[in-house]
Structure 1
């Protein structure tokens, strides 16, 4: 039996990672054929909503990555306020990038505190597509801008940011399953 590595729990700020080619449909086999409990635990690292994770795990197999991502989007759009709150409770702050100076740390901490005080949950933003050097500025600008929203407007934006984060995390997760050796790929020494 192949043991699947579970990805580490990402923080609420998604820093861009090395882009690699999307897995071929055949390489979704690892994700599609893994035990449901392994897939569910792994999916919870993408979005901490049990409802979202169970829905994706239960609707396997997926013919290709596009179908999986579309199902993930649909499941995210169907999350209730309680589901979104559950997912937000699983998000955490990530450390500042290496080389960030003390004033930036202070500004970011103050902005996060103001946001949590106003909305009652952590700030989430998807930074896929931004260079790592732009992350801090994007987070600070995002928090400052979103602090002006009313709670209902911010709830909608937060749910969409969670969906975008989950989508990026899911694409990386599927690559990890594709990188795992499958039993047919393992050859015994002769």
Structure 2
């Protein structure tokens, strides 16, 4: 399972993250996941913003036909069929969030309902900047880990990573 840069770039748009994980020798999925998490934890905020720029707003369909766009559409499937008032609430919440924090609201959408995601958006609007940056980093790490697992399995990314479980071969 040697993954190329194009495959990895679909997992995370940060060039610094990509350089670090693409440089790994071998095909150990556990090592890839551990390295990914470590690098994500160490990224500067500018690197996180670079990754965020590749994510569509929650409630908006990703354009394009690449792997990342396809995954994003599948990950946001919980919004398919959402009522008009719920979609309107997302649009307003996204606007308020971007005005407050200066970037797109990021949440692991896989495995979450539209109501759950909206509740999280509204809750996180009350965060201070430091708290929100930590939450964004944690959500990005979950999204990237899910996408790495999808790549390894050759499957579309759906569901969520195992909560509270370390990567394969990692101590708790």
Tell me, yes or no, if structure 1 residue 42 matches structure 2 residue 7: yes
- Pairing partner for 1:54 from 19, 22, 44: 19
Q: Which residue of 2 aligns with 1:181?
A: none
Q: Tell me the CA shift for residue 98 of structure 1.
A: 2.7
Q: Secondary structure at the match of 2:127?
A: coil
- Pairing partner for 2:85 from 90, 103, 114: 103
Q: Which runs of 5+ in 2 are unaligned?
A: 62-77, 156-172
Tell me, yes or no, if structure 1 residue 90 matches structure 2 residue 90: no
Q: Which has the higher contact order (CA 8 A, sep 6+)?
A: 1
Q: Secondary structure at the match of 1:47?
A: coil
Q: Secondary structure at the match of 2:55?
A: coil
Distance 1:60 1:170 in 2: 16
Q: Which residue of 1 aligns with 2:72?
A: none
Distance 1:98 1:84 in 2: 28
Cα deviation 1:37-88 (Å, max 9, x = unaligned): xx2122111111011011111112133x222211111111111111011111
TM-score (norm 2): 0.73
Q: Which residue of 1 aligns with 2:168?
A: none
Root-mean-square deviation over aligned CA pairs:
1.7
Q: Which runs of 5+ in 1 are unaligned?
A: 1-27, 178-190
Q: Which residue of 2 aligns with 1:11?
A: none
Number of residue pairs matched by the alignment:
137
Cα deviation 1:127-151 (Å, max 9, x = unaligned): 44x3xxx420111011111100111
* Larger-Rg structure: 1
